[in-house]
Amino acid sequence: MKIICIGRNYAAHIAELHNEVPAAPVIFMKPETALLQRGQPFFIPEFSQDIHHELELVLRVSKNGRHIDEQFAPGYFDAIGLGIDFTARDLQSELKKQGLPWELAKAFDGSAPVSPTFKPVADFADLANISFHLEVNGETRQTGNSGLMLHSFAGIISFVSQYISLKMGDLIFTGTPAGVGPVRAGDQLAGFLEGEKLLDLGVR
């Protein structure tokens, strides 16, 4: 399986990092080794002094496909969960400055914890109005809603599949809302989807 991630998909997050609003979705990937299994803590890697949390809605791909038309894209994912796109912000800033790819800052081991459970798409009343938020040590740090995404779920799936075939079991991180910030050893992160706690993660 693979993990496809969308960058710069919420205007307020683009603004907080002083980035340009992209015309097309910004895509990067994480390998399977970035996944964190249920209950495992996240260990801050030695190569960064500025690991940021980015809470994101995650789509579970349910069907193989390529060159998917946007009108058929909703048929290619069957569940939505939460994930944290951990980012070594110091390293990423250095790579961006040099015009280099972001992989070292984004794809490292453990950089993609996902919720142990995903909610079936059918359980959502409106895919364009899904709320989610992140608490760090009980304090709300990020609040998002799928209605604020620049590119919709269907738009993302259609766009990605023009370049990269989707396979059943792939995960798609759909971008983070504003409020990203550093994590520290001892922090406890909790991700909520429509008010329900789906993700609980300790930082070491």
Comparison of 111 and 176: residue with beta carbon closer to Mg ion: 176
Q: Are 124 and 130 in contact (CB under 8 A)?
A: yes
End-to-end CA distance of the chain: give it in Å, rounded. Answer: 27
Strand order through the sheet with 77-84: 26-30, 3-7, 171-173, 55-61, 77-84, 119-120
CB of 6 to Mg ion, least distance (A): 7
Kindly write out the interface string for residues 39-78 of this chain, putting x where it contacts Mg ion by CB under 5 A and - elsewhere: ---------------x------------------------
**Rounded CA separation 32/112 (Å):** 9
By CB under 5 A, name the one of 55, 60, 68, 85 that touches Mg ion.
Answer: 85
| 86 contacts Mg ion (rule: CB under 5 A) | no
- The half-sphere exposure of 161 on its side-chain side, counting CA atoms within 13 A, is 25
Among 157, 176, 179, 183, binds Mg ion (CB under 5 A): 176
- Residue placing its CB nearer to Mg ion in the complex, 65 or 180: 180
Cβ proximity to Mg ion, 79 vs 178, nearer residue: 178
- The residue ranges that bind Mg ion (CB under 5 A) are 54, 85, 176
